[in-house]
Amino acid sequence: MSEKTMSEAGPDGLASGLMKKGVLASDWLPAFKAVPRHLFVPDVIWPGRAGANRQDDQVVRSEDPELWWKTVYTDAPITTQWDDGKHTGPGRGRTPSCSNSMPTMVFSMLAALDVEAGHRVLEVGTGTGWNAALLCHRLGDMNVVTVEVDERIAATARARLMAADFHPKAIVGDGARGYGKDAPYDRIIATCSVGSIPGRWVGQTEPGAVIVAPWGPVYGGEAVARLTVTEAGVLTGRFVGSSAFMRLREQRKNLPPASDFLDEDLWPAGGVESRTTLSPDDVGEWIHMFAIGVQVPDMFCRVSDVREDSYRLWLFDRGRTSWASADYTSGETSFRVVQSGRRDLWRELEAAWRWWYQQGQPDFDRFGLTVDHRGHVVWLDAPANPVPRWAPGPRARNE
């Protein structure tokens, strides 16, 4: 590898870029320098793209060392495992199951964690080990516990950590259970997303502790929640930015297939047809999906028939009672909707989106989350202003 490649696409270049973004602060800079990302990235990887879920073709270090190096020191996520390790052949698998997170996300979440000397931290999701190593450098090995459910991932991460001379307590186990033997913790950070904060995490903290975790509804859209534990054991706090993490294995969505609702080849399958002026393309941003999903918690979506200027958006409910489709074509101002079942899912989506629009199109930082005896309550601007949940509406009828 050339010296030019090493210098331009390396730790210094990435650090400079992260500092310009305001992501990498001076308190985490020593850890960044002492814990090079490349020590925690395997030789076969699938580089992602910032702000997108798709993955590019795999990069193999022995075949293209310069590309591998550039990939590692790009501010983007890197998939390191597919399909819980069941996919072992060339190319990518179906579902990513382990990654080295985007550096911007790593240091944004560490900033939100707001650790201080002497804090004890539980990390849920060891992954490649990079985040655990950064915490060890900042707080000392004895103050970091990291839990990983996948035995092979855990073993590989432990080997990388030891090779880099970091020795946190590395546990193989279900992250939803935390690790009670070393509780209480001052901080808990999850490198996987959840739709429900596990009660055991709260039970392994004391008042004043902070939990930082990516959270999102079934429909989609996700953000990092920074939650503080109150004297009453209630969690509350704001979302600090969008995120896109793999789900905690215990909470994977496992959504029913479209075939449980209809044979797509027979669409419109007797469904009720109508028109809408709300474009399916205007409800597809991450924040739109978050706002819709919070208000209609049992609805999920898929996309099919994707072409250069058109696609079909599908809506389903987890109860398998209803479906809807909305056809988008670029340049159109009216869009065909077809629905079937007990519920009017498109009307529920429209109501949720319009509520968000009427509130001034809030971004994630105006939303917050409280977890108490009522469950999980998402609010806007203040805990006293909970986001409404729309009751299922009756199926649309032909006029």
Which amino acids are annotated catalytic?
Answer: 101
Total length of the chain: 399
Please name which of 152, 111, 113 lies closest in space to residue 129, comparing C-alpha atoms. 152
Q: How many CB atoms lie within 10 A of CB 13?
A: 16
**Count of alpha carbons within 13 angstroms of residue 335, beta-carbon side:** 23
Is 184 in contact with 233 (CB distance < 8 Å)? Answer: no
Q: Please spell the DSSP secondary structure of 75-132, one letter per residue.
A: SS-EEEEEGGGT--SSS--SSEEEEE--HHHHHHHHHHH---TT--EEEE--TTSHHH
**Strand pairing of 310-317 and 375-380?**
unpaired
d(CA 324, CA 346): 6
Q: Which helix (H) or strand (E) holds 228?
A: strand 223-229
Q: Please spell the DSSP secondary structure of 199-219, one letter per residue.
A: HHHHHTEEEEEEEEEEE--SS
What angle in degrees, to the nearest 10, is found between the helix axes of 345-358 and 286-295?
110
Map tokens 């399909």 to a residue: 83
Residue 4 token pair: 């030019």
